[in-house]
Amino acid sequence: MSESQNVSGQGFVFEVNPEEPYLFCTWYTYAPGGQAIGGPASQRWYTAQASYAAGARSFDLTLYETTGGTFASAATAARTAAVGTATLAFASCQSATLAYTFTSGTNAGQAGTIALTRVGTVPPGCA
């Protein structure tokens, strides 16, 4: 399935580190059919990361899914695996698009494009 999405309840946090140069992203979203599942079982957290060249406005990312594990407990081990790819393209300091494809994991087969808009203020010097 491939579509352009406008899905409420999702969230992203991007960290673009100019010192390292590395981009790290967290993505809160849902499993397919998550509304019918409900509660924590419907929730998914993904991370993505990539190095980049100075001045880049487009980033090719690897998507990772972490499963298992429990906060404050060593009883179950968390497992992280690459589950897809994405391209993040900044149109400006206030907007970007994320095109993604999941190749494995709980969202395997899902693909689409999400239009992103900055929630907070634009950092000084962003051009």
Give the number of domains in the chain.
1
Helix (H) or strand (E) holding 4: strand 2-5
* Residue 123 falls inside a structural domain: no
Where does residue 33 fall: left (phi above 0), alpha (psi -120 to 50 degrees), or beta otherwise?
A: left
What pLDDT, on the 0 to 100 scale, is given for residue 123? 82
pTM of the entire predicted model: 0.81
* Residue 124 falls inside a structural domain: no
* Residue 125 falls inside a structural domain: no
Q: Residue 41's domain spans which residues? A: 2-117
Distance between CA atoms of 25 and 90, rounded to whole angstroms? Answer: 14
Amino acid at 26: T
- The CB density around residue 52, as the number of other CB atoms within 10 Å, is 19
* Residue 90 falls inside a structural domain: yes
What pLDDT, in 10s, does the model give residues 27-43? Answer: 988 877 777 787 777 77
* Residue 126 falls inside a structural domain: no
Does residue 75 surpass a pLDDT of 70? no
* Residue 127 falls inside a structural domain: no
Helix (H) or strand (E) holding 37: helix 34-37
Amino acid at 117: T
